[in-house]
Amino acid sequence: MIETDFELLKGIANQLRIHSINATTAAGSGHPTSCCSAADVVAALFFSQMRYDAKNPHHYNNDRFILSKGHAAPLLYAAWAEAGLFSAEELLKLRRIDSDLEGHPTPRLSFADVATGSLGQGLGVGVGMALAARLDKLDYNTYVLLGDGEIAEGAVWEAASLAGIYKLNNLIAIVDANRLGQSQATAFGHDVGVYRKRFEAFGWRVETLDDGHDVEEIVEVLGGVGLDDKPLAIIAKTYKGAGVSFLQDQDNWHGKPLNKEEAARAVAELQPSAKSAAGAPISAPSAIPAPANTVPTSYPAISYKLGDLIATREAYGAALVRIGEADQRIVAMDGDTKNSTYAEKFFKKFPERFTECYIAEQNLVAVAIGFGTRGKVPFASTFATFFTRAFDHIRVAGISMANLKLVGSHVGVSIGEDGPSQMALEDLAMMRAVSGSVVFYPSDAVSTEKLLEVMAKNRGIFFLRTSRPKTPVIYGNDEQFPIGGAKVVRQNAGDKITVVGAGVTLHEAVKAADALKAEGIGITVIDAYCIKPLGKDVIRAAAQKTGNVVITVEEHYAEGGLGDAVAGELSAEGIKVHKLAVRELPRSGKAEELLAKFGIDAAAIVKQVKALA
Amino acid sequence: MIETDFELLKGIANQLRIHSINATTAAGSGHPTSCCSAADVVAALFFSQMRYDAKNPHHYNNDRFILSKGHAAPLLYAAWAEAGLFSAEELLKLRRIDSDLEGHPTPRLSFADVATGSLGQGLGVGVGMALAARLDKLDYNTYVLLGDGEIAEGAVWEAASLAGIYKLNNLIAIVDANRLGQSQATAFGHDVGVYRKRFEAFGWRVETLDDGHDVEEIVEVLGGVGLDDKPLAIIAKTYKGAGVSFLQDQDNWHGKPLNKEEAARAVAELQPSAKSAAGAPISAPSAIPAPANTVPTSYPAISYKLGDLIATREAYGAALVRIGEADQRIVAMDGDTKNSTYAEKFFKKFPERFTECYIAEQNLVAVAIGFGTRGKVPFASTFATFFTRAFDHIRVAGISMANLKLVGSHVGVSIGEDGPSQMALEDLAMMRAVSGSVVFYPSDAVSTEKLLEVMAKNRGIFFLRTSRPKTPVIYGNDEQFPIGGAKVVRQNAGDKITVVGAGVTLHEAVKAADALKAEGIGITVIDAYCIKPLGKDVIRAAAQKTGNVVITVEEHYAEGGLGDAVAGELSAEGIKVHKLAVRELPRSGKAEELLAKFGIDAAAIVKQVKALA
């Protein structure tokens, strides 16, 4: 055990302050005072408490550190520079287009597992990391630094609750209670007792620091990590701008850099007691074997029969078990809908790789993201429409370039009697708008199974949209479904119009084709199983054979879904897209009644084809 | 004071159970056991505690009741039928397409202020209603009935926290702790002490009921409403399926109707002690004058000068104060960004009509919705991208046909150095996909001011997207901006191409027009200030004069925004849309650098025009 050099830690904290001030002044923007309040905590974590390989931030058993209060990015950057990962001169490139030291951290930086900056998201990701450590029998701890303002976010309490339920004593939340928000003081100011009560009520052990700038106090409470069976919350009473006389605890300094003269004055105050971390001892991670996380070369075969009636949501459950057998990286989680999404099949087979997240969809997604950062392939499921609850998390997962698989069931009006609150009619718009996302929408069991393989094999954010009604198997067991593809399901010479559907509406289109054929009108039918990137080559080729006329039909509102995707991709090439979509607020009723009422059933397609043919 | 007839209340509770069971059996779906657990609480509320005019659910001073656990809809419907609002025979039409008694409540019903069914949203709406009562000096109370499963949702704790902060002693949360979720038991089962600790930590007075089916206990704790200065949480230990021997506390009965034989058996058990509510006394609301909530006939004029440089976000703040002077219905709220969104101007002028919601965007929106149900015109603001945190609330607001005005600032890459976590690049996709929404995107101060008038005057969900950079005033003070319009900003005979922009990109398009003019190439420039409903007549007319070729340019990802909107609306008419949009993950940098790097500045427009002209 190395004796802690508290004077060195104090000096490093001031060095981090100096870096944060100089960097933001050089950038002309940023949040120096939010860095100063947390500098002592960060110094104690990075240069006394945490066990990590500073040259290899991705080491599988490094302690994890999530800066949930992402606007204190310069402090994080300064800590890694002082730890020796890169030159401190780089810090002065903060926020420049030619630097990865962005205004808020992103995984362009090796030491940022996830992007932060949209507040309240770090703790849920930390829960996922802590669960992954437990699954992999690794002894790294996960430290999450939060601001006091951000813990007004409900997502924090979703995460806190689950951490308490699962007794994650390898998870540590540190609240930098600096009293001041962006536009005014926080609701509770320096009443750290409020935060104590809340975390305790959510199943945490809590330590409060009367002086969050006292590195001896900080180191002492950090010594208690892992000592009992609860997650640990440390509430540190701090001052915004701490360490600089004219900044400390002052209003109107949020998100403002110092001008050069002010910066010079601040640095002059800090410099005498600042110390380089060059000589600080950093403990190495313990030598536990790395988890395998092997990528399988193949998955077991499937054996469906054409015409079998199976809901795609049910095929999802079967597929997850099948590929989960072969792929130990796969973990799953759900928000108390597992008997409806069919994630339950995986839960029953592999309970140790399943996390019940209860009814808390933001945290469901955050936990999945956390697992994804640890080499796992996380499949999170709930009703598709409830992923809207987690849109901000999913959006930020895009910035994190996360490995995240979302599976949403119960799409569209075909869910029937439960009514509009349970119907996903905007999820395609949402998921298409996520940076780097891939959006799948299968129509039968075979395509669902095969798309799940694609999701497991390929890194990135994938969304699979499943339906409630049973639909017939239309593909052979060897059919392949590449990213960016589409399938021609019906096509004959002389077809008048190309109809593009997916899910339930694909089957309506097939029915329409049969009905129209009887009347001597041929239509091409395309399965747009990949909504993003759209299988536009297939659609274009078909459309060009039908006079450039396309009808899209979708269980989705008219905005941002399949129709907009096809029009947005192909209108520039002169392809004319007529959209059939849900154009008014739906209601309860039988599935077939609703498909008819909202104009997306076979009869509606027939009518539209006849109007155009 | 009327002596409470507890035997009558018990009998009514069983009558409500019978109705719930019969209705769901007739429907063939639904959640009878979730109704049974809460039947006694609802009987006590509706037929002893609440003061309301049962013939006029909209009465301004009726106590409010929000069924946050919306899947217990049949219980709510039964209560109103027993209260005499409509015939009990109607209950058997539950979930039919020809009935407004949907699977989950919606405001198609006079007694449902908001749609529920997406769990965890009711309490935040209740906070808004309770704040509205205080503002209007009305003495109605707001009762919110929650399930125990749903309080895993972070949104509940955002609401609980704000209610505690503002000491809303006219707000009552009742938790129906029936132990069983959809797919398994809740995390805390019947440990009501956990819920007690949590609500207490969030500033509430808490009562626990060891027997949530004992109407005497229920009535007693309800007698404590308003007795101190805290909101009141009542945690009722109940049993799912209570009152029916073969349902009570049994697994696998979530969301399942009884078959006819089972229903007959259940009713046979309940019938002997069931009583009609026909003779129950219902207390009338007290006679306080109604709030005025007068719609003004006009708003004060504006006086901008052409060319003045004003950010649209700043114009928003000015506009809100201006129309707020004339329109007492207007209230505002923000999530600790008011100094950036400029809602601060309104806060400073009308502090009593402003609610600081702190960093909790779900609740920010919920509070606004609550105000909207009470005749107010709520303007909720934050960074546009943080509204993604509240997408599920906004989606459900669509089902609620809410009166809700959202104003999101800091859109697109032009915010610069703060980086992608703060940039709204998917908000148009999100807001377009909301049922019944109107989406505005002004480019100058005048249009911002005028659009805000439109938002105040017209009922419904409106989203106004504002930008961070200063932009010149381009419209005269008398210009009008109707819903569904667009403005031709530049147009000359012989124009080659129509360019459609909005916000910052409109000004880039104007710059491009100037540059191209110097080279002898004319382009038409259109301001798409209304993204939904799109000003398609204006765009079509312009496009038809430029060979049907349109370029859209937007500070948004390529999916679901302006380009998709134009293509989706007009491709069927043969108009060819070329989209300039952000097509990769952005990063920190200077605004102009980023507009250039991501291909949406004047130079990019010039290049695209030349490629097509």
pLDDT per residue over A322-344, tens digit each? Answer: 999 999 999 999 999 999 999 99
B266 and B21 Cβ atoms separated by less than 8 Å:
yes
- Among residues A563, A71, A392, the alpha carbon closest in space to that of B427 is found at A392
pLDDT value of position A80: 98
How do residues B510-531 score in pLDDT, each as one tens digit? 999 999 999 999 999 999 999 9
**Quick check: A118 and B385 CB within 8 A?**
yes
- Among residues A340, A357, A358, A339, the alpha carbon closest in space to that of A348 is found at A339
Cβ contacts (< 8 Å) between B150 and chain A: which residues? 359
Which listed residue (B82, B217, B361, B569) is catalytic? B361
Rounded to the nearest angstrom, the gap between the alpha carbon of residue A14 and the centroid of all alpha carbons in its chain is 34
pLDDT value of position A596: 98
pLDDT value of position B495: 98
Non-local (6+) Cβ contacts of A58 within 8 A are: A110
d(CA A144, CA A168): 13
B17, pLDDT greater than 80: yes
A440 and A463 Cβ atoms separated by less than 8 Å:
yes
How do residues B257-294 score in pLDDT, each as one tens digit? 999 999 999 999 999 999 999 989 999 999 999 998 89
pLDDT value of position B200: 98
A298 — pLDDT class (breaks 50, 70, 90):
very high
Closest Cα in chain A to B534: A559
* B282 CA: distance to closest CA in chain A (Å): 31
Element (H, E) at A196: helix A192-201
DSSP A295: P
d(CA A16, CA A273): 12
pLDDT value of position B2: 64
Cβ contacts (< 8 Å) between B570 and chain A: which residues? 571
SS3 content of chain A, % helix, strand, coil (to 5): 40, 15, 40
**Quick check: B149 and A358 CB within 8 A?**
yes
Cβ contacts (< 8 Å) between B97 and chain A: which residues? 587-590, 593-594, 597
**Strand segments (E) across A219-275:** 232-237
Q: Which of residues 586-605 of A touch B (CB under 8 A)?
A: 587-590, 593-594, 597
Nearest CB to B585; choose among A200, A436, A570 = A436
Cβ contacts (< 8 Å) between A551 and chain B: which residues? none
* B127 CA: distance to closest CA in chain A (Å): 15
Closest Cα in chain A to B594: A97
d(CA A14, CA B280): 71
- Sheet containing strand B487-490, edge to edge, reads B487-490, B523-527, B497-501, B549-557, B576-582
Phi, psi of A397 (to 5 degrees): -60, -35
**Quick check: B567 and A571 CB within 8 A?**
yes
Nearest CB to A422; choose among B30, B117, B425 = B117
Torsion of CA B83, B89, B90, B95, to 10 degrees: 120
pLDDT value of position A132: 98
pLDDT value of position B279: 84
Active site residue B584: no
pLDDT value of position A1: 52
Q: Tell me the residue type at B163.
A: A
Element (H, E) at A323: helix A312-326
A437 — pLDDT class (breaks 50, 70, 90):
very high
**Quick check: B417 and A30 CB within 8 A?**
yes
Query: Taking the CA of residue B201 as centre, how many other CA atoms within 13 Å lie in the half-sphere pointing to its CB?
Result: 21
C-alpha gyration radius of chain B: 27
**Quick check: B532 and A161 CB within 8 A?**
no
Burial B481-494 (b: 16+ CB within 10 A, else e): bebebbbebbbeee
B308, pLDDT greater than 90: yes
* B11 CA: distance to closest CA in chain A (Å): 29
Q: What is the mean pLDDT of chain A?
A: 97
Reading phi first (left if > 0) and then psi (alpha if -120 to 50, else beta), residue A560 is in left
Phi, psi of A291 (to 5 degrees): -65, 150
B465 — pLDDT class (breaks 50, 70, 90):
very high
Q: Among A598-607, B277-286, B476-485, where is mean pLDDT lowest? A: B277-286
**Quick check: B565 and A559 CB within 8 A?**
yes
% of chain A with per-residue pLDDT over 70 = 100
A3, pLDDT greater than 90: no
Evaluate if pTM is beyond 0.95.
yes
**Quick check: A420 and B115 CB within 8 A?**
yes
**ipTM value of the model?**
0.98
Cβ contacts (< 8 Å) between B411 and chain A: which residues? none
% of chain B with per-residue pLDDT over 70 = 100
A289 — pLDDT class (breaks 50, 70, 90):
very high
pLDDT value of position A491: 98
B343 and B379 Cβ atoms separated by less than 8 Å:
yes
How do residues A341-374 score in pLDDT, each as one tens digit? 999 999 999 999 999 999 999 999 999 999 999 9
pLDDT value of position B366: 98
Non-local (6+) Cβ contacts of B508 within 8 A are: B501, B553, B595, B600, B601, B602, B605
Cβ contacts (< 8 Å) between B391 and chain A: which residues? 388-389, 391-392, 426, 430
Non-local (6+) Cβ contacts of B409 within 8 A are: B313, B316, B337, B340, B341, B342, B381, B382, B383, B384, B466, B467, B468
Nearest CB to B117; choose among A156, A419, A564 = A419
- The reply to whether A432 touches chain B by the CB within 8 Å rule is yes
Sole residue written with tokens 């001030």: A21
Nearest CB to A152; choose among B359, B395, B584 = B359
How do residues A544-587 score in pLDDT, each as one tens digit? 999 999 999 999 999 999 999 999 999 999 999 999 999 999 99
B36 and B247 Cβ atoms separated by less than 8 Å:
yes
How do residues B124-162 score in pLDDT, each as one tens digit? 999 999 999 999 999 999 999 999 999 999 999 999 999
Cβ contacts (< 8 Å) between A588 and chain B: which residues? 95-97, 99, 102-103
pLDDT value of position B248: 96
- The reply to whether B410 touches chain A by the CB within 8 Å rule is no
pLDDT value of position B513: 98
**Quick check: B577 and A572 CB within 8 A?**
yes
pLDDT value of position A2: 64
A90 — pLDDT class (breaks 50, 70, 90):
very high
pLDDT value of position B3: 84
